[in-house]
Amino acid sequence: MPIATVNPATGETLKTFEELTPDGIERCLAAADAAFRRYRTTTFADRARLLERAAGLLEADQEDIARTMTTEMGKPLTAARAEAAKCVKAMRWYAANAERLLADEHPPEAEVRDAGATHARVHYRPLGPVLAVMPWNFPLWQVVRFAAPALMAGNVGLLKHASNVPQTALYLEDLFRRAGYPEGVFQTLLVGSRAVEGILRDDRVAAATLTGSEPAGRSVAAIAGDEIKKTVLELGGSDPFVVMPSADVDRAAQVAVTARAQNNGQSCIAAKRFIVHTDVYDAFAERFTAGMEALTVGDPMEETTDVGPLASEAGRDGLAELVDDAVRQGATVLCGGRRPERRDPRGWFYEPTVLAGITPAMRIHQEETFGPVATLYRVADIDEAVKVANDTYFGLSSNVWTRDDADVQRFVRDLEAGGVYVNGMTASHPALPFGGVKRSGYGRELSGHGIKEFCNATTVWQAS
């Protein structure tokens, strides 16, 4: 895949970039190695000042970088602005909290004596250069939620971003440079996927984090496993959105539209499978379908647009194939189900779609729908709701709508997911751990869990 900015609203190639040569990659790796040896000794106060400065610059750049993101991958401009603001918030959160999160841990004195020591503690040290293989769907946020904790912990970053968002990738390197980070602490590597293996196998790279597809995760995990290097993987999701009889159905349907259509439906944590108790199924289906139909599809630069184009023609065509397969096998189209008729036929748009009557024989029952397509399931009771919710290879997050405490406890206990959001939609926040189970990956981002992923938890044992 060429490294290029292609506007998904028009299909027009706006700018192309040369891939780094092997010599260029070597220079970046050498710079990262040298930078880590110095940067790892900086204080939390030093790192916090740099990250705060980067946050301030990003805040000032919000409009420009939002337009760059929208141009490169098609998200509505309003959503792009919100993404930039979220990154600023996360940077400032880690600048304020990293020292506390990585403070030495001291076991109880009795346990220290039992270990034969006078003093003992756990001390957190950075691992080194971390390779980040990042996706296009949240081209700023996905990187910042890795970079902010990694840099505050004393690591340095090597970014291999998706090939269709090169200007966003280069902006990130420039942002950290302008903030005053030393040379080599954060670098963007304009390389294709074939270069990842060689970089990851290099002895100077300590670990890797990847957000992306299941095949990409398998590849990076296999290489890192062969090299015995730490990885964090955040892969696909097919999150359930369960609605029980005690739910506020109007509110659930309203939030469901946002949960499915956010980011043009291209989000791993977007709700995708809507599992509704039969007692409220008809009411929910009517309201949800009406809400999806009411969404405005159009130019993502327009303030009134709710859903822009999908990021690539292949992505749009793959989504259409899933819908067509389901319809051929008996699914009912409640709305959408096609490419919209547009005066300007260019661009990779797809109508917000709701499908009912889904069966396990349909591809869409198991495969992730990366676009504004929702599937509806009718269930008889909580047992069936849990069964359908867990009937997926993925386990990223989940949404549950109920005002019954017994329901809440059951879902928290039994849903196979990295998160359970009750009466609200899944959203990431710097203070809360984020990640999944099953084929959605392993490890955690954000919070104290995320910052410790790329640290060496060092036991310090001392006798007098």
Burial class (CB in 10 A: 0-12, 13-18, 19+), 345: exposed
What are the two backbone dihedrals, phi and then psi, of residue 420, each rounded to the nearest 5 degrees?
Answer: -130, 110
Question: What is the distance between the alpha carbons of residues 457 and 46, in angstroms, rounded to a whole number?
Answer: 22
Nearest to residue 421, comparing CAs of 394, 451, 396, 445?
396
The one-letter amino acid at 456:
N
328 with 358: CB under 8 angstroms?
no
The one-letter amino acid at 132:
A
How long a stretch of residues is the chain? 464
> Between the CA atoms of 355, 357, 361 and 362, what dihedral angle is there, to the nearest 10 degrees?
-10
Establish whether 268 is a catalytic residue.
Answer: yes
Q: 437 pairs with which residues across the strands?
A: 395
461 with 122: CB under 8 angstroms?
no
Start-to-end Cα distance in the chain? 61
What is the distance of C-alpha 429 from the center of its chain?
11
Question: What is the distance between the alpha carbons of residues 165 and 72, in angstroms, rounded to a whole number?
Answer: 6
Nearest to residue 200, comparing CAs of 231, 219, 223?
223
Tokens read off for 106: 């001291």
Q: Which of 72, 83, 234, 445 is catalytic?
A: 234
Q: Which of 28, 268, 335, 455 is catalytic?
A: 268
Angle at which helices 382-390 and 405-414 cross, to 10°:
30
Establish whether 303 is a catalytic residue.
Answer: no
Residues forming the active site: 234, 268
